[in-house]
Amino acid sequence: MSTLIILLVLVVPTAWFLVERSHRKTSAMAGGLHEDITLPHTAEWELYHNSFSLCSKKLRVCLDELGLEYTSHPIDLIETGSYENVSRHFLAVNPAGVVPVLVHRGHPVYESHDEIVYAARHAGERGRELLPDEDAARALVEHWTDVASIVGADPTRGTEQRAGNCVPGLTLPIFAAMCQYISFTHFVEGLLFHPQKKRPLILGLLKLRGLRGLPKLPPAMELLDRSRRNMARHLDALGEQLDEGGGPWIAGERFTLADVSWVVILDRLVEVDWEEHFWGNGKRPQVAAYWERLRARPSYERAILHVRCATLKNGIADVKAAKRADPALKAALEGST
Ligand SMILES: N[C@@H](CCC(=O)N[C@@H](CS)C(=O)NCC(=O)O)C(=O)O
């Protein structure tokens, strides 16, 4: 009898884990098109994406602006419900376990900055508007697209170089709020199968401590402070570019991939209630006006607002309410810069 109990309690779960792990192999994937991989598909363009993920939003806005229709495959991340990104079926699409993945005629393209360039190159005249041919304009667009990208296995290290890499740190408050709606059992799946254990560990910790506990987590606050200081510098540079280029867009008269890359950054800052801190009360007027122009575009409504999930809407409201109710929390998050 006791042997049977030991078998049930130890051997069966271990065997399940080993079998499952053998089916959920992960590996880093280089950016760009992978013609050697063919995925099941029914449409010319398909997109695996998540409603909340910044890189996914960038792809949705880009495809909308380019007028490219696509088949949508929503994939949950832990913040929006579960670790579907480390499920067997999604790892077959991207063994790196991250979204977005753009699929063109069955072949995946990885890394969102490569994906938007790839889509623009295959979208005819409209693509050439978003990604200009002329050297100087193209270099400008590439620079501002790169600054807005999230790059590297640990993006939190590159906050000085990239506004995109400041985003994870500045998103911590809403991560903490959204994780409250997700059951702990889902976090266990991440600890077992996620290729980067640090991610489920940090999010699990945020769930445990909650938004109000965030200021008591020194490593998280160091990241948040660093990201906030560096984002301020990136936004100053953006304001200067809008001034010098004459606007209304980063490359002047023309709306380009640079603007596609920045609308999602500014949108994330708004979601996490950083708007007033960075460009409220007369601060950075060029950025404030630019944000108004970006959010007036139909692509913003269709590709971002319309796709917001319930957990994100709850998270947005919870961050605002917590800061309003607790001035010490607001001061801790926003600091003096
Ligand atoms: N550099 C990659 C970043 C991809 C990435 O980290 N995606 C996030 C969402 S924005 C993700 O899938 N996270 C899932 C997880 O880490 O569990 C890109 O630009 O595509």
pLDDT digits (tens, 9 = 90+) for 176-195: 999 999 999 999 999 999 99
Which residue type does 35 have?
E
Supply the residue whose CA is at minimum distance from atom 10 of ligand 1: 53
Please give the structure tokens belonging to residue 128: 């050439």
Clarify whether residues 78 and 160 are in a common domain: no
Which residue type does 323 have?
K
Task: Assign residue 50 the CATH number of its domain.
Answer: 3.40.30.10
Clarify whether residues 144 and 224 are in a common domain: yes
Clarify whether residues 179 and 273 are in a common domain: yes
What tens digit of pLDDT does each residue of 66-80 get?
A: 999 999 999 999 999
What total of structural domains would you count in the chain? Answer: 2
Q: How far is the CA of 275 from the centre of ligand 1 (A)?
A: 23
Please give the structure tokens belonging to residue 76: 């949950």
Using the predicted structure, report yes or no on whether residue 337 has a pLDDT greater than 90. no
Residue span of the structural domain in which 32 resides: 13-127
Neighbours of 308 (CB within 10 A): 14
DSSP helix/strand/coil, 335: coil
What tens digit of pLDDT does each residue of 228-244 get?
A: 999 999 999 999 999 99
Clarify whether residues 108 and 163 are in a common domain: no
138 with 254: CB under 8 angstroms? no
User: What's 177-200 look like in SS3?
Assistant: HHHCCCCHHHHHHHHHHCCCCHHH
Clarify whether residues 51 and 37 are in a common domain: yes
Q: Which of 75, 95, 127 is the last residue of a domain?
A: 127
Using the predicted structure, report yes or no on whether residue 136 has a pLDDT greater than 80. yes
The answer as to whether 7 is a domain residue is: no
Bridge-based pairing of strands 107-110 and 45-49 is unpaired
Residue 173, preceding bond cis, omega within 30 degrees? no
Q: Which of 105, 127, 149 is the last residue of a domain?
A: 127
The answer as to whether 149 is a domain residue is: yes
Instruction: Give the pLDDT confidence score for residue 247 in this predicted structure.
Output: 85
Task: Assign residue 243 the CATH number of its domain.
Answer: 1.20.1050.10
Clarify whether residues 206 and 173 are in a common domain: yes
Is the Cβ atom of 112 under 6 angstroms away from ligand 1? yes
The answer as to whether 3 is a domain residue is: no
State what percent of residues in the chain have pLDDT above 90.
91
Contacts of 46 (CB under 8 A, 6+ apart): 39, 70, 71, 72, 73, 102, 103
Region 21-39 average pLDDT = 96
Instruction: Give the pLDDT confidence score for residue 129 in this predicted structure.
Output: 96
- Ligand 1 atom closest to the Cα of residue 199 is 16
Average pLDDT, the chain: 95
Higher-confidence residue: 152 or 49? 49
In angstroms, what is the C-alpha Rg of the chain? 21
Instruction: Give the pLDDT confidence score for residue 83 in this predicted structure.
Output: 96
The answer as to whether 211 is a domain residue is: yes
Q: What is the DSSP letter of 7?
A: I
| Total number of residues shown for the chain | 337
Clarify whether residues 200 and 294 are in a common domain: yes
147 with 164: CB under 8 angstroms? yes
pTM (two decimals): 0.95
User: What's 204-224 look like in SS3?
Assistant: HHHHHHHHHHHHHCHHHHHHH
Instruction: Give the pLDDT confidence score for residue 153 in this predicted structure.
Output: 81
Q: How far is the CA of 157 from the centre of ligand 1 (A)?
A: 15
Supply the residue whose CA is at minimum distance from atom 2 of ligand 1: 111
The answer as to whether 311 is a domain residue is: yes
Instruction: Give the pLDDT confidence score for residue 107 in this predicted structure.
Output: 98
Clarify whether residues 171 and 100 are in a common domain: no
What tens digit of pLDDT does each residue of 84-121 get?
A: 999 999 999 999 999 999 999 999 999 999 999 999 99
Is the Cβ atom of 98 under 6 angstroms away from ligand 1? yes
